[in-house]
A and B are shown apart, each in its own frame.
Chain A
């Protein structure tokens, strides 16, 4: 009983549970790593890329240095030399990704998974054990490759002395890149039924990561911009966290054994979509009942993503406001008197009245932006949809801060935003929240629901909210923007 009343009992129990989880996971890791190192088909390419490729890269670098020196371009060398360590570190990771891709699906194919699933290991222990095992060989290969290459430059004829921070930066980038690739591969491995499918799906990891390495290289050759690489590393770390969360959430014994075919069942997708779209009502339903029983529950499901979206929009507004200080607009040199503004607005108002197509253009523009945000969100766990939604709020903060800093009357600007903004801003936030939910639901599907079904239902909810709420609001905002807002600004300026 004494232990129960111990003030740190909970903490001790948690620590013991964590230690047990880790210990069990490492049993799996040790076996897997040992097994990987016994497979010459895996080890020989890794060995070649780890040991031979850096030496080739060293030889190539020597040639480059000679060429630069002969042409009087030595000053460029400090900028160019850090490029190859990143490449040398990247190659072994991309090759040894096959280990991560094999993690679950390979065992499933070899029929050795079920005995493992029948042991007392928890899902978390199994997932962590397998993930550690998948991470270790690529990271090891990558570090050894970098060490050989950099060692060659440091101790060879070049006598390169890279700044410590640069070495750390390269190692951090290589590590987080490897982690993104491996955690992504483990997720793919747990969700496919054949190594072939897993390898094909791996292109969704390798291609974006190759593009990222190219982007990093472009930044790397501009030493004064290398600080950006830290932000990239941070972004990659967030991605790792999302992928680990997604993997742990999606990983379960049922999915691993229950799924037997990677079949695209269009009929099921269509039926599930329509079922979610219609809601619990039968086929024949009134619009009112549909809004009440289907649309409103979908809106309520947006509580968390909507909170995140609103917070991000507020942050973007504040960021825009703060950025105005650093990058001020020369508003004082743009002398536009109120009379000219009124004239411009009258012209705009007349244009809108004589050309209803302008309303459609305003609506179309907003819908295009929201559709783009939704599509980008699907491929980025909702991150890019958030960024697209944040942009106008950032701009708004920036412009209003400029107006305030220039000592101009903010009322006409607010009058130019508020009449249609009252309708448009909620529509943007609502669409942004739906896009965020759609993009991120695959990382945390509801319990007892496969990720695929959760996504199809979220898609139906997004379309439903789009049709039932966002579209009407955007249409109304478009009409207000063209027909009402200029009139109100005109009135404000004419005071």
Chain B
């Protein structure tokens, strides 16, 4: 579990992280999104006890990041933004070095690196120096390093960057396996599709502050409105569209189609269908217009920029 309260980091006059409070339960994935320089990496570094907070506190796997840094680091697996491997080492040798640092028992120290290399499809590259690895291979090895000591908490910075689609899927499945195994996971990424696929909850960070947090549905509801439905009919609406305004929020329509928003699709959609069918309209399709995390994210950032330029109070952190 990860808990932070008013976690703040200053570098001189620069406020890198501003009063972040969040809770990530075991078995959940929390994605931190934000532009470059927003404070994602600094937050991760504080949660790894590499940087000390200027104020506020954080507990990771039950340990305080300031008072118990060694305990925290022993229970956290980190995939850093720059995985920086030792180029002259081989994969097993590299993982064995970290296995020693994490004090893995000798039998596990021999077995675990090979298992992970096998799992990530690197078993064929045992004799290669890491300098000869492709970017994707290096990324997978760095992930293997983060998982080496089977940590309770995982902090993954761009876990699938530089990977081909097949490898990326492999890594996403590995992350889901870890989630099922009740690990607490934070990922920071610019890949919004991936974040939408993996994350249970999402936090958007800007200027060091979490400006929005919640599940994708909550964020979408809050920032881009209720779900948008699209209806197509066979024989034209013939003025019926305006008649539906009393039931739903009509967005736009054409001769054979219309779009409306509804906060309660489970009730409104069947009612609309019943009404149209009763009027003899032949419905071809009724579907939700997909809202992507990208739409939601851009809207969140846009609103926050608006707050900046108008000097209005910013939304609360949680």
Residue numbers of A with Cβ under 8 A of B are: 24, 27-28, 31, 35, 38-39, 107, 110-122, 253-254, 257-258, 268
Q: CB-nearest residue of chain B relative to A116?
A: B101
Would you give the shortest CB distance from A116 to chain B, in whole angstroms? 8
CB-CB nearest in chain B for A24:
B101
Q: A122-B70, A257-B51, A258-B11 are in contact. Are A27 and B97 (CB under 8 A)?
A: yes
CB contacts (< 8 Å) of B45 on chain A: these are: 257
Contact string, B56-75, partner A, CB cutoff 8 A, digits 1/0?
00000000000000110110
Q: Are A253 and B51 in contact (CB under 8 A)?
A: yes
- The answer to whether A39 and B145 touch across the interface, beta carbons within 8 angstroms, is no
Q: Is the beta-carbon distance between A253 and B50 smaller than 8 angstroms?
A: yes
B76 within 8 A of A: yes
Cβ contact within 8 Å between B88 and A119: no
Contact at B97–A31, with CB atoms within 8 Å? Answer: yes
- Rounded to whole angstroms, the CA-CA distance of A257 and B9 in the bound complex is 14
A115–B48 CA distance with the chains assembled, in angstroms: 10
* Distance from A107 Cβ to chain B, minimum over Cβ atoms (Å): 8
Determine whether the beta carbon of B70 is less than 8 Å from that of A120.
Answer: yes
Q: Kindly provide the distance from the CB of B69 to the nearest chain A CB, expressed in whole angstroms.
A: 8
Which residue of A114, A120, A268 is within 8 Å of B80 (Cβ)? A114
Tell which of A28, A31, A115, A122 touches B142, judged by Cβ atoms closer than 8 Å.
A115
B89 and A35 contacting across the interface, CB-CB below 8 Å: yes
Whole-angstrom CA separation of A355 from B81 in the bound complex: 73
6 chain-A/chain-B pairs, Cβ below 8 angstroms? A114-B81, A115-B80, A116-B101, A118-B50, A118-B80, A258-B51
B76 engages A254 (CB within 8 Å): no
Interchain pairs with CB closer than 8 A, number: 71
Task: List CB contacts (< 8 Å) of B135-159 with chain A.
Answer: 142, 145
Give 1 or 0 for each of B28-70: 1 = CB within 8 Å of chain A CB: 0000000000000000010011111000000000000000001
Given A24-B101, A120-B102, A121-B101, A115-B83 contact (CB < 8 Å): yes
Residue B82 lies at the interface, judged by CB distance under 8 Å to chain A: yes
B162 at the interface (CB under 8 A from A): no
B78 contact set on A, CB distance < 8 A? 114-115, 118
Q: What CA separation (Å) do A115 and B73 show in the bound complex?
A: 11
Interface size on B, residues (CB 8 A): 32
Query: Which B residues lie within 8 Å of A28 (CB)?
Result: 101
Contact with A along B80-95 (1 / 0, CB 8 A): 1111111111000000
Bound-complex Cα distance A378 to B296 (A): 58
Give the residues in chain A near B83, CB-CB below 8 Å. 111, 115
User: Contacts A27-B100, A112-B85, A257-B51 given: A119-B73 contact, CB under 8 Å?
Assistant: yes
CB distance from A395 to the nearest CB of B (A): 48
Q: A121 contacts which chain B residues (CB < 8 A)? A: 73, 101
Q: Which residues of B contact A (CB under 8 A)?
A: 11-12, 45, 48-52, 70-71, 73-74, 76, 78, 80-89, 97-98, 100-103, 142, 145
Contact partners of B48 in chain A: CB under 8 A: 117-118
Closest to A118 in B: B78
**Nearest CB on A from B99, distance (A):** 10
In Å, the complex CA distance between A250 and B103 comes to 27
CB within 8 A of A120: which of B51, B74, B85, B86?
A: B74
Residues from chain A with a CB closer than 8 A to the CB of B103 are 120
Q: Is the Cβ of A254 less than 8 Å from the Cβ of B97?
A: no
Sample of 6 more A-B contacts, CB < 8 Å, known A115-B145, A253-B51, A257-B50: A27-B97, A35-B86, A113-B84, A114-B84, A115-B98, A253-B50
A383 CA to B100 CA, complexed, in Å: 42
The docked-state distance in angstroms from the alpha carbon of A396 to that of B200 is 80
Tell me the smallest distance from the CB of A233 to a CB of chain B, in Å: 36
Contacts of A107 in B (CB 8 A): 84
In the complex, which residues of chain B have a beta carbon less than 8 angstroms from the beta carbon of A38? Answer: 88
Interface centre among A107, A110, A118, A254 (most CB of B within 10 A): A118
**In chain A, what residue has the closest Cβ to B142?**
A115
Q: Are B50 and A117 in contact (CB under 8 A)?
A: yes
Q: Give the Cβ gap from B71 to chain A, nearest Cβ, in Å.
A: 8
* B100-A112 in contact (CB<8A): no
* Set of chain B residues within 8 Å of A113, measured between Cβ atoms: 84
| 3 closest cross-chain pairs (CB), A and B | A111-B84, A112-B84, A111-B82
A361 smallest CB distance to B (angstroms): 46
Judging by beta carbons under 8 Å apart, are B51 and A254 in contact?
yes
Name B51's closest neighbour in chain A (CB-CB): A254
State A380–B134 Cα separation when bound (angstroms). 49
Residues of A contacting B52 with CB < 8 Å?
A: 254
- In this complex, what residue of B is CB-closest to A252? B52
A120–B101 contact, CB under 8 A?
A: yes
Which residues of chain B are near A24, meaning CB under 8 Å?
A: 101
